Amino acid sequence: MTDRGGSDDIRALIFDMGGVLVELGEPDIVFGLESGTERFLEHWIQSPSVRDFERGDIDIESFARRVVRDAALPYGWQEFIQRFMSWPRSAFTGAAKLLESLPGNCQRVLLSNTNREHWHDVGLAAQLTPYLDRVFLSFESGHLKPDPIAFHHVFESIDCAPEETAFFDDNSINVEAAKALGCHAFRTRGVDELQAAIEGLLSG
């Protein structure tokens, strides 16, 4: 991907991790649910237990116990942790190449609601950080999407106005939150959709 007309207006490309740069297992299969992916994602992002965990306020055992209880899952907290740790697989094939190909005048930024276990123990940090300029993780910052403070923290840290950024996420709630703040925001899943959105943005 080359630096083309229109890219000078965008100074930072901000990426979600799961579903955008990293392949996730289907929630219904991973957790043994029947809610469907869309409904699952809506509930997940708003769950108090998930929010406490991804802010770094509780440990993984406390999180697992709460989720099993609140969702009345038919298995124990230990099995939930095993399933949870298998949810992220690895960076999508082509994700690193895409990040490397981005225009040099655009900062490559990760903004993810995630946890210490997925970031370090699954190995996502090692797979992604060589191709990113800045990384903003909820368990380190305490800020969660779709809360405005999570986005403003990034804008201030990278010294960009919202309209100078583009944001890519697989959850429509986060995309709408970014748009409301003035970002160029796109819902994408996987590398093909991500690349198409970036090319459309930078060639416009």
| pLDDT per residue as tens digits for the range 38-64 | 778 778 888 999 999 999 999 999 999
Residue 45 tokens read as 């992002």
pLDDT of res. 125 = 94
| pLDDT per residue as tens digits for the range 77-93 | 999 999 999 999 999 99
Q: Which residues contact 88 (CB under 8 A, 6 or more apart)?
A: 18, 22, 23, 24, 25, 118, 122, 124
Q: Which residues contact 51 (CB under 8 A, 6 or more apart)?
A: 144
The answer on pLDDT for 5 being more than 60 is no
Residue type at 159 in one-letter notation: D
What phi and psi, each to the nearest 5 degrees, are found at residue 169?
-145, 155
Q: What is the pTM of this model?
A: 0.92
Separation of alpha carbons 162 and 166, rounded Å: 8
Any idea how long the chain is?
204
Structural domains in the chain, CATH included, are 7-23+89-202 (3.40.50.1000), 27-86 (1.10.150)
pLDDT band at 203, cuts 50/70/90? Answer: confident
> Is the CB of residue 69 less than 8 Å from the CB of residue 80?
no
> Helices (DSSP H) in 122-189: which residue ranges?
124-128, 138-141, 148-158, 172-180
Q: What is the mean pLDDT of the chain?
A: 92
Q: What DSSP string runs through 13-73?
A: EEE-SBTTTEEE--HHHHHT--S-HHHHHHHHHH-HHHHHHHTTSS-HHHHHHHHHHHTT-
Lowest mean pLDDT among 30-44, 112-126, 150-164, 183-197: 30-44
Separation of alpha carbons 162 and 92, rounded Å: 27
